[in-house]
Amino acid sequence: MLVHPQFDPVAINLGFFQIHWYGLTYLAAFGLFYLLATRRIRHAPYAAGGWTAREVEDLLFFGVLGVILGGRIGYVLFYKPGYYLANPLEIFAVWKGGMAFHGGLLGVLVAMVVFARLRGRRFFEVTDLVAPCVPTGLACGRLGNFINGELWGRAADASLPWAMVFPQSGSELPRHPSQLYQFALEGLALFVLLWFYGRSRGAHTSAAGGVVWGRVSGAFLVGYGSFRFIAEYFREPDSFLGLLALNLSMGQWLCVPMIVAGALIWWWAGRSAVAR
């Protein structure tokens, strides 16, 4: 049975200035997004669409705003609305933690709508570009969770070779290192699937030869929602919520509409090809 190594959450301490590992994982996430997106605009059909590295930089700026604002607002509304209603100033105390992926996703979608309108791009053209570049950022975030020893897993059989004790949980129970499960599923596996699918002819070309927008975005929603739903069976539910109806966590319930929406978008995209 392993014990969480209790990393110092501060990566660089200059006394008057501290840089946390979690902040570095966000920085790595944004850097990987830029690297992948600038490569993706060289692929069909983006190569013929006039996309530039400068547009990717602007897209990243909009995305960062969407992630931070949406992630925080989503956490407030989805997980602790009563607490923050009673303590509204705590909403701005982001250094205390509290970000929700599903809220961050909604924030990014709003940011993409604004970006698409300002640049005269189709919405799903933008989201199809973004989708394969997101999972590596999610992987970075889950590594940050593991380093911080937070969002630990449910109790596991002590005979499980990688079962781990998280002292931060307040118990000596062996647990699933669910952060690493999510790193592998929502991060690495989803990235590989979307990257190669996004480069395939079927992702962007209809049988009639028109350009298809939306299939990659739909695949992202279905893929992330499915992987997250599975991982939630190994992740300890939030103590202030516990398990909800049908013994599902809040994270799982939020994944259900995501999977349904993704499947509908993928189906709709195949019927809405645009002429070249």
Model confidence over 7-20: pLDDT tens digits? 998 888 888 788 88
pLDDT of residue 113: 96
Give me the number of domains the chain comprises. 1
pLDDT of residue 274: 58
Quick check: 62 and 70 in contact, CB under 8 A? no
Range of the domain at 34: 11-154+174-270
Residue 3 falls inside a structural domain: no
- At 56, the amino acid letter reads V
Q: Report pLDDT digits (tens) over 77-110.
A: 888 888 888 888 888 776 666 778 788 889 999 9
Residue 21 falls inside a structural domain: yes
SS (H, E, C) 53-116: HHHHHHHHHHHHHHHHHHHHHHHHHHCCHHHHHHCHHHHHCHHHCCCCHHHHHHHHHHHHHHHH
| 202 C-beta neighbours (distance < 10 Å), count | 11
Residue 25 falls inside a structural domain: yes
Residue 236 falls inside a structural domain: yes
The answer to the question of whether 142 is labelled as a binding residue is yes
Residue 165 falls inside a structural domain: no
